[in-house]
Amino acid sequence: MFQVFLVAFLLLQPETDARKSKIFGGETKSVEDYPYLVNIRRGGTFRCGGALISPSCVLTAAHCLEGRPDRVRDLSVHALQQCLNDAPAPEHVRWAWYAKVSPDYAPRRGLDADVAVIRLSRPFDISGKASLAKIDYNELPRHMNLTIMGWGMTEENTQDWNQCLQVAEIQKLPQGECIRRIGTPQHPVTGNMFCAIGENATDACPGDSGGPAMSDGRAIAGLVSWGYGCGRGYPGIYTRLSSPRISFWLKYFVADHCWG
């Protein structure tokens, strides 16, 4: 018998099927090729991925803030870290100042509108190696290739902090097919989501939450959000940044809080 668990792609959920807890089907890549990618830690412990969208702001999934968007001073953000155990250079670490989740975020409605912005207490020096990613606000085509990346864990129920960056290519599914394959009344696939899966069940997994799904033009089209297990052949669910509700909020928030 085959049991399926619905999991946010966040680490250390007790019900997580962690057997394949890393980007499933990916390969190790150099973080220098993804200079906008960060990992997010709470009290030093790895939680999630994210992306630098301005020198002072990180885009991530709302569920990465674990219901505590008002208490983020213990969150740090690490850029250009290949493996989670690598000693971070001080210039690649910043602390959170405040954060805001989408006003439409609905953790009890299938993690609808799963997006947040973290404002850092001090900007990254982007004249150095760290750099920024743009957000792709364009409506997504029915089919597209996306690149996902993250530092999910390597072994079931172990805390292996030496996971190194994994990258994989996946394909977006048309929305109707996504809804048919995995939508349920309890966990609807809404207009603030899209789903995608790669060849041979390539998928995001717990620990990859909040990381960007990059379009071919290398802009952020989605964020890793949730799935039914991972690597089991079910498509993973991503936050759709181009949805009107999300893009409206995000554009204003970023303009007001992230530049200057």
| CB within 8 Å of 130: residues ≥ 6 apart | 35, 36, 52, 79, 80, 92, 124
Based on the shown chain and the rule CB under 6 A, indicate whether residue 26 belongs to the binding site for ligand NAG: no
Residue of 76, 209, 242, 247 marked active site:
209
Choose between 144 and 219: whose C-beta lies nearer to ligand NAG.
Answer: 144
The span from the CA of 35 to the CA of 205, in Å, is: 21
29 token code pair:
């890549």
Distances (CA, A) of 233 to 129, 192, 198, 230, 236: 36, 22, 9, 8, 9
- Of 39-47, 95-103, 140-148, 206-214, which segment contacts ligand NAG by CB under 6 A? 140-148
Based on the shown chain and the rule CB under 6 A, indicate whether residue 201 belongs to the binding site for ligand NAG: no
CB of 208 to ligand NAG, least distance (A): 17
Choose between 28 and 157: whose C-beta lies nearer to ligand NAG.
Answer: 28
Query: Is 114 one of the annotated active-site residues of the chain?
Result: yes
Backbone φ/ψ region at 77: left (φ over 0), alpha (ψ -120 to 50), beta: beta
The single residue among 74, 200, 218, 252 that binds ligand NAG, judged by CB under 6 A, is 200
Distances (CA, A) of 105 to 85, 111, 112: 32, 7, 5
Burial class (CB within 10 angstroms; exposed 0-12, middle 13-18, buried 19+) of 185? exposed
Residue of 104, 114, 136, 208 marked active site:
114
Based on the shown chain and the rule CB under 6 A, indicate whether residue 219 belongs to the binding site for ligand NAG: no
Based on the shown chain and the rule CB under 6 A, indicate whether residue 183 belongs to the binding site for ligand NAG: no
Instruction: Decide the pairing of beta strands 219-228 and 236-240.
Output: antiparallel
CB of 113 to ligand NAG, least distance (A): 26
Choose between 25 and 210: whose C-beta lies nearer to ligand NAG.
Answer: 25
The span from the CA of 201 to the CA of 162, in Å, is: 24
Q: Which of 199, 166, 183, 185 is nearest to 237 (CA)?
A: 183
Residue 62 three-state SS: helix
CB of 216 to ligand NAG, least distance (A): 7
**DSSP per-residue codes, 214-226:** EETTSEEEEEEEE
- Of 6-14, 114-122, 137-145, 173-181, which segment contacts ligand NAG by CB under 6 A? 137-145
Which of the residues 59 through 78 are near ligand NAG (CB under 6 A)?
Answer: none
Using CB under 6 A, count the residues that bind ligand NAG.
Answer: 6
Binding mask 6-25 for ligand NAG (x = CB under 6 A): -------------------x
The set of catalytic residues is 63, 114, 209
Q: Which residues bind ligand NAG (CB under 6 A)?
A: 25, 143-145, 199-200
